[in-house]
């Protein structure tokens, strides 16, 4: 899942970036408000973690601009200001969640999962489909109650497709989800991961729409 | 106890009024008493003279009846009716009207005969009579007693109230005598032949009654007047003090942190400067409070962010299975702790500057000495980044500053320059005199700050965009510098250095007075005027 982290503090940004990567997110870390604003205009992210106190462009302004563009990507705001007016103002400006520094990495990850879940229109933490149960928190997948071992990237692709059941997801979109700017993308990786997923979960689960992308069909 | 202005004004004005009133009333009373005494004495004398004329007329002059007869020829002398009735007397001619009119109030005595016995009988009432029911009576009638003594010391005639012995031994003029414990004022008159003496007397009490009446009036005026005056003063003072009590209420209603200026509308001229002063104080206080609020907010952000970084890195280190990631995280933790230690030191310095009075003492200081010391201290750190440090001393003027504060100022400026200057850079510190100011400049070859961000950079904790990544300074350094600059009434300006980086200039104003700044003969430096 591709995530934009905007945090100007080097140590915190580095720590969050490392922690979120460990959770499987493809993290783009920016330390500059204006660059973040530009990145949001040109890239698609599933989640945004935004610090408010940035050197050049206020986090709140980035958020407002984002919402003005009808972009509904879930945004988690990081702030050192813990007063009620600050929090109210933040939520009213379009933030989906608010975390006050200092925070627990685990809490941030849990909240991000909740945000993603809510964005996908689910209220239960796990996704179930045709005997497959996917748990985003523990990164566990079971098929007919049997644990299936998946690689990180395989899990990411599966959860993205399962979060969008019945919708065709382009290969480019899947690549975007998997890789942050800094990683090298091999042209056939998505196909390779799909191949292994079919092997582990059954060939019929993921259908290829030739020239477009992949889809997990809905039951109806 | 604090009395209110209103109470004080009431008390003082009322007391002053009472004293003035009392003095004038007393003088008035004295004056009136004298006048009354004079008036009554005159009355006494006049009564005596009237009586004398009357008796004289009866004894020697042509009897009144003759005049009467002459005037009214058909009237018989024997049956002459001496009618004293006032209304009739008024009709009589001028020749004798003075005699009658001197006793206008005489009571009923319509039939008086000319004989002295009869006359005396009829005269009793004239002098004694203060008959209250008498329609011609008047409350200011004064009871007068008289005696008529013959030459042979025989009491011939007296009024009821007069004693049977002589009023006075004096036979002419005023005298005073005490009879039965009563003081009498007596006027005596002897006729020209010395045939008789007339004493006319009046009791002191009668006089006292009159003065008592006057006193009573004065006192009652006073008793009625004082409370009325008091009420009037109370309300007038209250009316004019109303703006002050309104001000007081406006102040009382205020919350401690509500520092909007007070309105000076409708306030008396004397109060306006006070309120203006208060308003300017409010403004200063509000600025100070705002300063503090911003500082606390900034400090909290400044501390919370590295804390969050520290915690996150620690959790990454705990969670990861990758040794390389763990090692990196631990390195970051060490970095974060160092940074926070520095910040805590800076915060402590800052709070010491804010609260410690030791920093208020200023003394003549040779700045170059402090600079050399600081450069020596920080050289090691600069050397690590292969930064060249230079000091350019263009003046040896001694300025009056607080040495520990100046040391902190210089340290912060140089420290900051080292942090922001990349490897192999250069930092130049210089002191010079220009435009009647002592200038301390620190220039570096770092990234600098774009001019449009100068104002922002001067705000507390604000770090430049480009530089944020490169240096791990806390914005507190600049806050401390600004505070020290303010304490010394100096100014701080940002600019571009000759190396393309930032140039920070602190200007200390030099006194215009030639005797200052202090210059020691030892240095013997020429100073341009």
Pull the structure tokens for residue A77: 């705001």
Task: Name the burial class of residue B172, with classes exposed (0-12), middle (13-18) and buried (19+) by CB atoms within 10 angstroms of its CB.
Answer: exposed
Q: Which of A118-127, B15-24, B399-408, B507-516 has the lowest mean pLDDT?
A: B507-516
Report pLDDT for A44. Answer: 85
Q: Which of A13-17, B99-103, B196-200, B516-520 has the lowest mean pLDDT?
A: B99-103
Sign of dihedral through CA atoms B265, B267, B271, B275? Answer: negative
Pull the structure tokens for residue B127: 């002098």
Q: Is A11 on the interface with B (CB under 8 A)?
A: yes
* d(C-alpha B480, C-alpha B413), whole Å: 10
User: Minimal Cα distance from B338: which residue of A?
Assistant: A11
- Nearest Cα of chain A lies from the Cα of B480 at a distance, in angstroms, of 20
* d(C-alpha A122, C-alpha A135), whole Å: 12
Nearest CA to A53 out of B418, B296, B302 is that of B302
Contacts of A101 in chain B (CB under 8 A): 301, 304-305, 307-308
Q: Is B470 on the interface with A (CB under 8 A)?
A: no
Position B519 pLDDT exceeds 80: no
Position B510 pLDDT exceeds 80: yes
Q: What is the pLDDT of residues A149-185, one digit of tens each?
A: 888 888 888 888 888 888 888 888 888 777 777 666 6
Report pLDDT for B428. Answer: 92
Report pLDDT for B142. Answer: 59
Q: Do B468 and A55 touch (CB under 8 A)?
A: yes
Q: Nearest by CB to A12, which of B308, B462, B465?
A: B308
Position A203 pLDDT exceeds 90: no
Helix (H, G, I), strand (E, B) or coil at B197: strand
- Interface with chain A: mutation pick from B298, B308, B334, B341, highest number of A CBs within 10 Å: B308
> Can you say whether residue A196 is alpha, beta or left, with left for phi > 0 and alpha for psi between -120 and 50 degrees?
alpha
Report pLDDT for B58. Answer: 76
Contacts of A103 in chain B (CB under 8 A): 308, 311-312
Sheet bearing B182-190, strands edge to edge: B155-158, B145-150, B196-203, B182-190, B173-179
Pull the structure tokens for residue B136: 């011609």
Q: What is the pLDDT of residues B239-248, one digit of tens each?
A: 888 888 888 8
* d(C-alpha B528, C-alpha A12), whole Å: 53
* d(C-alpha B149, C-alpha B157), whole Å: 7
Answer for the pair A95, A77: CB distance below 8 angstroms, yes or no. Answer: yes
Q: Do A55 and B320 touch (CB under 8 A)?
A: no
Q: Do B311 and A22 touch (CB under 8 A)?
A: no
Report pLDDT for B226. Answer: 86
Nearest CA to A5 out of A75, A103, A90, A56 is that of A75
pLDDT band at B231 (very low <50, low <70, confident <90, very high): very high
Q: What is the pLDDT of residues B47-77, one digit of tens each?
A: 888 888 888 777 776 666 666 666 665 544 4
Q: Nearest by CB to A101, which of B304, B313, B329?
A: B304
Q: Do A101 and B464 touch (CB under 8 A)?
A: no
Which residue bears the tokens 């006048």?
Answer: B35
Half-sphere exposure of B317 (CA within 13 A, CB side): 15
Instruction: Give the H/E segment covering residue A143.
Output: strand A140-143
User: Minimal Cα distance from A18: which residue of B?
Assistant: B316
Contacts of A5 in chain B (CB under 8 A): none
Instruction: Give me the mean pLDDT over the B375-382 stretch.
Output: 84
Predicted TM-score of the model (pTM): 0.50
- Nearest Cα of chain A lies from the Cα of B483 at a distance, in angstroms, of 22
Pull the structure tokens for residue B252: 């009382």
Report pLDDT for B96. Answer: 41
Question: What mean pLDDT, rounded, does chain B reach?
Answer: 75
Q: A139-156 burial, b for 16+ CB within 10 Å, e for fewer?
A: eebeeeeeebebeebbbb
* d(C-alpha A111, C-alpha A136), whole Å: 12
Position B369 pLDDT exceeds 50: yes
Instruction: Give me the mean pLDDT over the B182-187 stretch.
Output: 85
* d(C-alpha B458, C-alpha B449), whole Å: 11
* d(C-alpha B518, C-alpha B525), whole Å: 11
Position B84 pLDDT exceeds 70: no
Q: Do A11 and B329 touch (CB under 8 A)?
A: no
Name the range with the highest mean pLDDT among B126-135, B297-306, B367-376: B367-376
B243 DSSP β-pair partners: none
Contacts of B303 in chain A (CB under 8 A): 80
Q: Is A102 on the interface with B (CB under 8 A)?
A: yes
* d(C-alpha B443, C-alpha B392), whole Å: 11
Report pLDDT for B108. Answer: 41
Q: Do A11 and B311 touch (CB under 8 A)?
A: no
In Å, what is the CA distance from B329 to each residue of B312, B318, B324?
Answer: 9, 9, 9
């Amino acid at each position: 899942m591709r995530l934009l982290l905007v945090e100007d503090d080097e140590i915190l940004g580095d720590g969050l970036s490392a922690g979120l990567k460990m959770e499987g997110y493809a993290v783009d870390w920016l330390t500059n408000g204006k660059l973040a604003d530009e990145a949001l205009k040109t890239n698609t992210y599933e989640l945004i973690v935004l610090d408010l106190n940035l050197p050049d462009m206020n986090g709140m302004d980035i958020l407002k601009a984002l919402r003005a563009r009808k972009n509904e990507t879930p945004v988690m705001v990081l702030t050192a200001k813990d007063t009620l007016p600050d929090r109210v103002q933040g939520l009213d400006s379009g933030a989906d969640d608010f975390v006050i520094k200092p925070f627990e990495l685990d809490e941030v990850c849990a909240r991000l999962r909740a945000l993603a879940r809510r964005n996908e229109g689910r209220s239960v933490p796990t996704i179930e489909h045709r005997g497959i149960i996917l748990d985003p928190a523990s990164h566990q997948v079971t098929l007919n109650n049997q644990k299936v071992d998946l690689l990180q990237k395989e899990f990411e692709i599966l959860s993205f497709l399962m979060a969008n059941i019945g919708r065709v997801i382009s290969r480019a979109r899947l690549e975007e989800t998997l890789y942050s700017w800094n990683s090298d993308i091999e042209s056939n990786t998505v196909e390779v991961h799909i191949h292994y997923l079919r092997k582990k979960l059954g060939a019929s689960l993921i259908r290829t729409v030739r020239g477009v992308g992949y889809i997990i069909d809905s039951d109806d | 106890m604090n009395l209110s202005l209103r109470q004080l004004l009431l008390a003082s004005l009322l007391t002053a009024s009472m004293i003035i009133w009392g003095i004038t009333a007393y003088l008035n009373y004295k004056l009136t008493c004298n006048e009354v005494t004079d008036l009554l004495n005159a009355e006494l004398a006049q009564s005596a003279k009237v009586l004398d004329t009357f008796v004289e007329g009866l004894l020697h002059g042509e009897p009144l009846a003759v005049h009467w007869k002459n005037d009214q020829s058909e009237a018989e002398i024997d049956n002459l009716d001496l009618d004293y009735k006032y209304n009739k007397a008024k009709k009589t001619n001028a020749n004798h009207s003075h005699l009658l009119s001197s006793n206008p109030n005489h009571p009923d005595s319509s039939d008086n005969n000319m004989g002295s016995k009869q006359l005396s009988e009829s005269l009793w009432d004239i002098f004694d009579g203060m008959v209250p029911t008498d329609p011609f009576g008047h409350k200011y009638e004064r009871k007068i007693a008289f005696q008529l003594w013959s030459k042979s010391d025989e009491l011939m005639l007296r009024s009821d109230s007069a004693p049977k012995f002589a009023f006075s031994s004096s036979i002419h003029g005023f005298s005073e005598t005490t009879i039965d414990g009563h003081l009498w004022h007596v006027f005596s008159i002897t006729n020209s032949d010395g045939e008789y003496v007339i004493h006319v007397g009046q009791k002191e009490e009668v006089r006292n009654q009159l003065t008592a009446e006057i006193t009573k009036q004065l006192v009652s005026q006073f008793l009625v007047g004082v409370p009325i005056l008091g009420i009037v003063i109370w309300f007038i003072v209250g009316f004019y003090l109303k703006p002050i009590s309104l001000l007081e209420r406006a102040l009382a209603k205020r919350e401690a942190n509500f520092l909007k200026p007070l309105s000076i509308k409708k306030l008396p001229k004397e109060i306006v400067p006070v309120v203006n002063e208060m308003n300017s104080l409010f403004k200063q206080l509000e600025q100070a409070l705002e300063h503090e609020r911003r500082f606390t907010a900034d400090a909290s952000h400044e501390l919370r962010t590295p804390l969050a970084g520290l915690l996150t890195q620690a959790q990454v280190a705990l969670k990861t299975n990758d040794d390389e990631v763990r090692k990196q995280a631990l390195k970051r933790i060490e970095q974060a702790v160092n940074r926070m230690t520095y910040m805590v030191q800076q915060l402590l310095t800052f709070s010491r500057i804010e609260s410690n009075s030791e920093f208020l003492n200023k003394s003549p200081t040779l700045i170059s000495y402090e600079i050399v010391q600081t450069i020596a201290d920080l050289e090691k750190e600069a050397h690590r980044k292969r930064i060249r440090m230079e000091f350019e001393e263009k003046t040896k003027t001694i300025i009056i500053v607080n040495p520990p504060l100046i040391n902190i100022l210089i340290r912060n400026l140089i420290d900051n320059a080292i942090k922001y200057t990349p490897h192999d850079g250069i930092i130049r510190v210089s002191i010079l005199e220009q435009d009647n100011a002592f200038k301390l400049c620190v220039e570096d070859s770092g990234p600098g700050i774009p001019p449009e961000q100068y104002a922002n950079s001067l705000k507390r904790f604000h770090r430049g965009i480009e530089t944020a990544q490169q240096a791990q300074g806390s914005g507190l350094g600049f806050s401390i510098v600004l505070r020290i600059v303010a304490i010394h009434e100096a100014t701080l300006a940002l600019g571009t250095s000759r190396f393309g980086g930032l140039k920070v200039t602190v200007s200390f104003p030099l006194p215009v007075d030639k005797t200052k700044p202090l210059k020691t003969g030892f240095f013997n430096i020429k100073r341009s005027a």
